[in-house]
């Protein structure tokens, strides 16, 4: 009924006392990668703007993006992009109320981690 | 109070009352990006580090230009909606509103800049 035990239910455990699991960690990394990709997205827009402006400006932007630090940022972003993409596919699957049992959720988690590393290496092999 | 049903108590109590539209917008943009991201990675990727003339000539072609324009547009739409949820979870009060407005403006500004650049290269 409507008023049974209202406000006197057990609290779910807080983040600080939760033992990390594959499911929770792959979830938070989805959020981190998705939002951190703003940095490389802005860098790419800047690169296009520089290319549209002048050869000299393009040389500057291209030098930043292909410096050792630019390579580091773009390589991490490439992994983040594939991770977020695969994790997004996992959400599209879950949206159908499919694969929500622990066993399948763990398998999908390992697939997202393994797949993102594999796709990153594959992409680097193809485009570099 | 006790005579109110759970349904009556819950109606209209949602955070923004537009959760379904937000969910659907994220779903549509994520499916679109599932197609666009691989296309963009394998068109933009090889051009990174190439000389200026090569880059301008490549993105003057219809397919790479349209893929780049669509990817930038849909990415920043998806980011705008996604970062809003991030902010809503961790920032509250006035700061929350300021942060969401800043991120919405940044998303539109970045998308417009990207589209302008592609148009200028392609046309």
Q: What's the number of domains chain A is made of?
A: 1
Q: For residue A88, what is the nearest residue in chain B, using CA coordinates?
A: B30
User: Do A91 and B30 lie within an 8 Å CB cutoff?
Assistant: yes
Rounded to whole angstroms, the Cα distance separating B3 from B36 reads 53
Rounded to whole angstroms, the Cα distance separating B85 from B80 reads 9
User: Closest partner residue to B45 among A45, A48, A127, by Cβ?
Assistant: A127
With cut-offs at 50, 70 and 90, classify the pLDDT of residue A8: confident
Rg (CA), chain A: 21
Residue A109: pLDDT over 70? yes
For chain B, what is the mean pLDDT? 92
- The ipTM assigned to this model is 0.87
Structural domain containing residue A73: 21-127
Residue A1: pLDDT over 60? no
- Residue A8 maps to a domain: no
- Residue A3 maps to a domain: no
With cut-offs at 50, 70 and 90, classify the pLDDT of residue A101: very high
- Residue A13 maps to a domain: no
- Residues of A in Cβ contact (< 8 Å) with B45: 123, 126-127
Rounded to whole angstroms, the Cα distance separating B96 from B93 reads 5
Residue B77: pLDDT over 60? yes
- Residues of B in Cβ contact (< 8 Å) with A91: 30
How is A33-98 classified by DSSP, letter by letter? HHHHHHHHHHHHHHHHHHHHH-HHHHHHHHHHHTSHHHHHHHHHHHHHHHHHHHHHHHHHHHTTT-
With cut-offs at 50, 70 and 90, classify the pLDDT of residue B14: low
Residue B44: pLDDT over 90? yes
Task: Report, as an integer, the average pLDDT of A71-76.
Answer: 97
Residue A30: pLDDT over 80? yes
- Residue A118 maps to a domain: yes
Rounded to two decimals, what is the model's pTM? 0.88
Q: For the segment B100-115, what is each residue's pLDDT rounded down to a tens digit?
A: 999 999 999 999 999 9
- Residue A16 maps to a domain: no
- Residue A103 maps to a domain: yes
- Kindly list the structural domains of chain B, giving each domain's residue range(s) and its CATH number in brackets, ordered by start: 20-122 (1.20.1300.10)
CATH code, domain with A37: 1.20.1300.10
Rounded to whole angstroms, the Cα distance separating B60 from A55 reads 15
- Residue A11 maps to a domain: no
Chain A to chain B, count of Cβ pairs less than 8 Å apart? 92
- Taking any CB pair shorter than 8 Å as contact, residues of chain A touching chain B are 2-3, 31, 34-35, 37-38, 41-42, 44-45, 47-49, 51-52, 55, 58-59, 62, 65-66, 74, 78, 81, 85, 88-89, 91-92, 95, 123, 126-127
Q: For the segment B51-67, what is each residue's pLDDT rounded down to a tens digit?
A: 999 999 999 999 999 99
Percent of chain B with pLDDT over 70: 93
- Residue A80 maps to a domain: yes
């Amino acid at each position: 009924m409507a008023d049974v035990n209202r406000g006197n239910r057990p609290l779910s455990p807080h983040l600080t006392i939760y033992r990390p699991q594959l499911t929770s960690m792959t979830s938070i990394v989805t959020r981190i990668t998705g939002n951190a990709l703003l940095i490389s997205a802005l860098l790419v827009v800047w690169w296009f703007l520089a290319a549209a402006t002048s050869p000299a400006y393009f040389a500057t932007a291209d030098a930043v993006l292909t410096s050792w630090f630019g390579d580091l940022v773009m390589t991490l972003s490439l992994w983040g992009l594939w991770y977020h993409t695969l994790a997004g596919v996992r959400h599209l699957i879950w949206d159908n109320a499919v694969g929500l049992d622990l066993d399948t959720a763990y398998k999908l988690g390992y697939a997202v981690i393994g797949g993102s590393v594999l796709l990153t290496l594959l992409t680097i092999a193809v485009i570099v | 109070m006790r005579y109110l049903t759970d349904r009556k108590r819950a109606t209209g109590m949602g955070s923004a009352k537009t959760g379904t539209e937000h969910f659907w917008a994220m779903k549509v943009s994520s499916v679109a990006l599932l197609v666009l991201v691989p296309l963009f990675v394998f068109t933009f990727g090889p051009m990174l580090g190439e000389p200026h003339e090569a880059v301008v000539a490549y993105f003057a072609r219809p397919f790479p230009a349209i893929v780049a324009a669509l990817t930038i547009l849909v990415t920043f739409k998806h980011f705008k909606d996604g970062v809003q949820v991030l902010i809503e979870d961790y920032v509250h009060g006035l700061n929350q509103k300021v942060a969401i407005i800043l991120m919405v403006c940044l998303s539109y500004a970045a998308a417009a800049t990207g589209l302008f650049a592609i148009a200028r290269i392609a046309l």
